[in-house]
Every structure is written in structure tokens, then in C-alpha cells.
């Protein structure tokens, strides 16, 4: 998609889309709404994808039907956000967001518009959308393209341009700054000068947003194409200074020249982002973004070179602070922080015995730690993967020699409930006997485990079953 030129909708892309499972059901939703007497259109990203000759993975629908009428028209709906005009409609395993035409009713405080007002006019609905390339409507029944703000033309130029006054649009909802940066990266695009000036002018407003809205949009940047371009733009517009000061501090922090010809700590981080593959999930990508934020604070020069002693530990502390500010879910935060704190531990592997290696190799987050190690190497010029490959070979050798033992089929609560026992030593002995039988292959299901306990672990039989 990134370098595709936008073209008018061709019969080929129309037919390919309508034949897709998602397209077929989205067609039927528009058909039902129109049969009920309402106006209905595919809108936004799905139309943009089709103009870029891509089959859309998701299709949103805009309609003149009020939410209550949408709910009456379809059997399976989710009305959680109906007061905002959005209803989720389920059709044959696909879920579509069907949104009533809206217009901004009053300007908000920058977090989001205070309220919206429903309208029957799709022109008013188009006026309230953020960018011209998102104000694109297509009707799969009539095959009409509705483009009131020149979105198709801007898409041909890969141009990100606000609808209306850019500063005013940002003041209505500051999230639009992050969306502008993300969409520019998404389509490999460029900014209209007025859009870029507004991003720079309004940069400090980014902190009006809740942490969770910022975190969600940053995650989309990291998971999308060209994440390095997005973060470079956050730097160039000054948004990053307030958004993520820990990352902002990495710009201009020198690294040892011989092993780091890619440049300073910021350059190294951006090269890590450019190295993402489809194997890298959100947690690994966040950890890669934050893995060296401890370097500015630990920068030092000794007799022979620049050093960053304990930067991984310091970085973990800073990562936790940053992720707390962004209201990252606690479980995800703890994982990302762990990856940052331990990303330098691979250098100790030659010193570890098998028992200590096992503690790492069987850790539930070890695979992602390996991914961070790989990304750290890929972000270094020149890149030498020989030690990484050595660890992978040792990891495979270890797992072959030490297969991961199976998980226990039952736990202490199961045993106490089954036998009516209180907590105590006897429960532990029964679990030990059951696990021994499991390792011998005598039991392999929960049902067999319960039968084993009832037949072998009652009335003093536990000791005999262990023998």
C-alpha cells in the first residue's frame, strides 16, 4: 500500500472487494439500510484502501438512520456507543461499525468534542471528519464516489490535509495530531504546509489527552508501516518533547563510534523500529522503542570509550514511569519493563550453567527477550548476529535435552474440593503423587486425574502410590 498511487475506483478493485467475505456482508448492510429508506455509504479507510487498489480488511458504514433504527434493522447489534451514533452490527461472523451521520455540536476542551448532533446530511458528516483522505464515501449499490473535500486528489499526492482550519480542528480534539502523524506514515505521505504548521503550533496540547488515548494511538504507530517515520515526525513537530520526554532525551546522545556507526541513541532506536518484522508483537515493539532510554542518564566517558553502565536497569525504571503516565495496562506494562530491564543480559550467557539457563529459557517472556536482542543487533551498524545465532543454537540444544515438563492437571483447590480436605501437607503429598503418575504416563486428562486421586489417594493410600 505504501507506494501505491491512488486511482479512480476500477471495476477490478470493486469486484475483488465485493467478492471478499467482508465486502459481501458490508454490501448487504448498505442494501438493508437503503431498503428501509435511509442513506448509507461505505466511508473512510475502506474507500481509501480501494483507491489504493487494496481490498479493505475492515469496512465502516455511515448512514442517515438514527441508532435506534439501525438496531431495529439488524438482529445482532451492540449499542454500547449508540449515544455517540455508533452501533456495531454483526453479520455472518463479521462486525461492522455503523455510524449515524453527525456534525460537531460544540467545540470540546481538546480531549474530544463535548457532544455531537445527528444529521441527515452526509455533507455535514464529511465536514466533521479530520482529514480529506478520510472524508471519502462510496456506495456499493450505486457505485457512486462522494468526495466533497478533494480526498481522492490528495490521496494521489499522498497528502495529509485537515478539513477546515487545522488549528481549530486540533483544539476540538488533540488526538488529531497523533492521527495526522500516523496517517502520514501509513500512506507514505507528506503534510500540507498548513497541517504541518498546526502540528508544530499546537504540540503542547498533546498533554490534554488522557494517557490511554495517547498510548492507543502510539501503539497503532508502532504496529503500522514506517513507525520510524512517525516518531521522526513527532520529534520534528516538537510533540515528542511532552508526549515522551524520556525518548526525546535520546536525541544527540553520542554512542561509541566503532560499534555504532548508525549514529546517536535516537538514530539507533529509529533503526530498531525500521527493523520490525511481522513476528514482532506490540510488547516487543514497545520494548524496542524504550530499550535505551536509560542511556542519556548513564552517559559517561572513561579512559577508552563512551559507556552507559546500568542503562538497562535505569531504562526499566524510566519505562515504568513513562508507561504509567500513558496508562498502559498493568500486565502489559510489567512485561515491557521486564524486557527493557533485561535486554543486556544476553552478554552473560556464556557464564551460565544449564540450571541457570533453564530459568531463562523457560521464562514465559524469553522469546520476546530474544526478539529485543535481535532488534538491538539489527539497529547497530555494523550488525553481527553470530552471538545471537550461538544463543539460538544453545536454546534449541537445551530444550532437546531438557523437555519442558507438563503442567499439573489439577491444583490444590481441585484436590481439596474433590476429597473435602482442608489446606495442609496431605494436599501437597496427593499433588506430588498425581504428578508422578502424570510423568509416568498413567494419567493424561483431568478426568483421569480425578479418578486416580479417588482410587489411590484416600485413606492413607498416598504414601503407597508414591512408592
> Residue 263 domain-assigned?
no
Same domain, 9 and 124: yes
Same domain flag for 141 and 14: yes
Within a domain: 205: yes
pLDDT tens sequence across 381-410: 999 999 999 999 999 999 898 877 778 899
Closest CA to 345 of 312, 367, 368: 312
Q: What digits encode the pLDDT tens for the residues 229-250?
A: 999 999 999 999 999 999 999 9
Q: Retrieve residue 249's grid coordinates.
A: 532525551
Burial 181-197 (b: 16+ CB within 10 A, else e): bbbbbbbebebbeebbe
**Among 157, 179, 200, where does a domain finish?**
157
Shared domain check, 229 and 303: no
CA 62 to CA 49: how far, in whole Å? 17
| Inside any domain, residue 267 | no
The structure's pTM equals 0.83
In a domain, 261, yes or no: no
Considering the domain architecture, whether residues 150 and 3 belong to the same structural domain is answered as yes
- Given 401, 420, 452, the domain boundary residue is 401
Mean pLDDT across the chain = 91
Count of helix runs (H) and strand runs (E) in the chain: 25, 13
407 in any annotated domain: no
User: Given pLDDT bands bounded at 50, 70 and 90, which one contains residue 438?
Assistant: confident
Query: Is 256 inside a domain boundary?
Result: no
Domains contained in the chain, number: 4
Residue 110 lies in a domain: yes
Does one domain contain both 19 and 146? yes
Q: Which of 292, 381, 371, 287 is nearest to 335 (CA)?
A: 287
- Other beta carbons within 10 Å of 298: 17
Residue 265 has pLDDT above 90, yes or no: yes
Judge contact between 415 and 430, C-beta under 8 A: yes
Same domain, residue pair 333 and 367: yes
- Judge if 368 and 219 occupy the same domain: no
- Say whether both 225 and 153 belong to one domain: no
Residue 311 vs residues 60, 296, 319, 338, 342: alpha-carbon distances, Å: 45, 8, 12, 13, 10
Q: What percent of the chain has pLDDT over 90?
A: 76
Domain end call among 157, 183, 212: 157
Distance CA 93, CA 427 (A): 45
Lowest mean pLDDT segment, chosen from 10-24, 134-148, 449-463: 449-463
User: How far apart, in whole angstroms, are the C-alpha atoms of residue 244 and residue 326?
Assistant: 9
- Are residue 181 and residue 328 in the same domain, yes or no? no
| Same domain flag for 107 and 151 | yes
For residues 125 and 182, membership in a common domain is answered with no
Residue 282 confidence (pLDDT)? 98
DSSP 3-state assignment of 77? Answer: strand
* pLDDT, tens only, 363-382: 999 999 999 999 999 999 99
| Distance spanning both ends of the chain, measured CA to CA | 65
SS3 for 66?
A: coil
Instruction: Measure the CA angle with vertex 131, ends 129 and 134; round to 5°.
Output: 75
Question: 97 and 118 in one domain?
Answer: yes
CATH number where 214 lies? 1.10.3090.10
Assigned domain for 220 exists: yes
What CATH number should be reported for the domain holding residue 70?
Answer: 3.30.460.10
Question: Which residue range(s) make up the domain with 314?
Answer: 274-401
Amino acid at each position: 500500500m505504501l507506494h501505491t498511487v491512488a486511482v479512480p475506483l476500477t471495476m477490478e478493485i470493486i469486484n475483488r472487494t465485493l467478492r471478499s467475505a467482508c465486502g459481501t456482508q458490508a454490501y448487504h448492510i448498505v442494501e438493508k439500510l437503503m431498503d428501509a429508506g435511509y442513506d448509507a455509504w461505505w466511508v473512510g479507510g475502506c474507500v481509501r484502501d480501494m483507491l489504493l487498489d487494496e481490498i479493505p480488511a475492515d469496512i465502516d458504514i455511515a448512514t442517515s438512520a438514527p441508532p435506534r433504527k439501525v438496531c431495529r434493522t439488524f438482529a445482532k447489534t451492540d449499542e454500547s456507543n449508540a449515544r455517540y451514533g455508533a452501533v456495531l452490527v454483526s453479520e455472518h461472523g463479521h462486525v461492522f461499525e455503523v455510524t449515524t451521520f453527525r456534525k460537531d455540536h460544540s467545540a470540546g476542551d481538546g480531549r474530544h468534542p463535548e457532544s455531537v448532533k445527528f444529521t441527515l446530511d452526509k455533507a455535514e458528516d464529511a465536514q466533521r471528519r479530520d482529514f480529506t483522505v478520510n472524508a471519502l464515501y462510496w456506495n456499493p449499490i450505486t457505485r457512486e464516489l462522494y468526495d466533497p473535500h478533494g480526498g481522492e486528489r490528495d490521496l494521489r499526492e499522498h497528502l495529509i490535509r485537515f478539513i477546515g482550519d487545522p488549528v481549530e480542528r486540533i483544539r476540538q480534539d488533540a488526538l488529531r495530531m497523533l492521527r495526522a502523524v500516523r496517517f502520514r506514515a501509513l500512506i507514505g505521505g507528506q503534510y500540507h504546509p498548513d497541517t504541518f504548521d498546526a502540528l508544530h503550533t499546537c504540540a503542547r496540547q498533546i498533554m490534554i489527552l488522557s494517557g490511554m488515548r495517547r498510548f492507543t494511538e502510539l501503539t497503532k504507530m508502532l504496529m503500522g508501516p514506517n513507525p520510524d517515520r512517525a516518531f521522526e515526525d513527532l520529534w520534528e513537530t516538537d510533540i515528542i518533547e511532552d508526549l515522551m520526554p524520556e525518548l526525546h532525551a535520546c536525541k544527540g546522545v553520542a554512542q561509541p563510534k566503532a560499534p555504532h556507526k548508525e549514529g546517536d541513541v535516537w538514530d539507533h532506536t529509529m533503526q530498531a523500529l525500521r527493523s520490525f518484522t511481522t513476528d514482532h508483537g506490540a510488547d516487543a515493539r514497545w520494548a524496542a522503542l524504550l530499550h535505551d532510554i536509560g542511556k542519556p542518564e548513564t552517559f559517561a566517558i572513561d579512559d577508552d570509550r563512551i559507556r552507559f553502565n546500568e542503562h538497562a536497569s535505569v531504562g526499566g525504571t524510566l519505562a515504568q514511569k513513562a508507561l504509567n503516565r500513558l496508562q498502559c495496562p498493568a500486565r502489559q506494562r510489567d512485561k515491557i519493563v521486564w524486557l527493557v530491564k533485561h535486554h543486556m543480559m544476553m552478554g552473560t550467557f556464556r557464564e551460565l550453567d544449564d540450571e541457570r539457563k533453564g530459568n531463562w529459557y523457560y521464562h514465559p517472556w524469553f522469546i520476546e527477550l530474544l526478539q529485543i536482542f535481535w532488534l538491538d543487533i539489527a539497529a547497530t551498524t555494523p550488525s553481527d548476529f553470530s552471538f545471537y545465532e550461538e544463543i539460538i543454537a544453545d536454546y534449541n540444544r537445551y530444550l532437546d535435552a531438557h523437555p519442558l515438563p507438563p503442567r499439573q492437571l489439577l491444583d490444590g483447590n481441585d484436590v481439596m474440593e474433590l476429597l473435602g480436605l482442608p489446606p495442609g501437607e496431605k494436599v501437597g503429598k496427593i499433588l506430588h503423587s498425581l504428578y508422578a503418575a502424570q510423568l509416568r504416563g498413567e494419567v493424561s486428562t483431568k478426568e483421569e486425574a480425578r479418578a486416580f486421586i479417588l482410587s489411590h489417594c484416600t485413606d492413607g493410600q498416598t504414601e503407597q502410590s508414591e512408592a
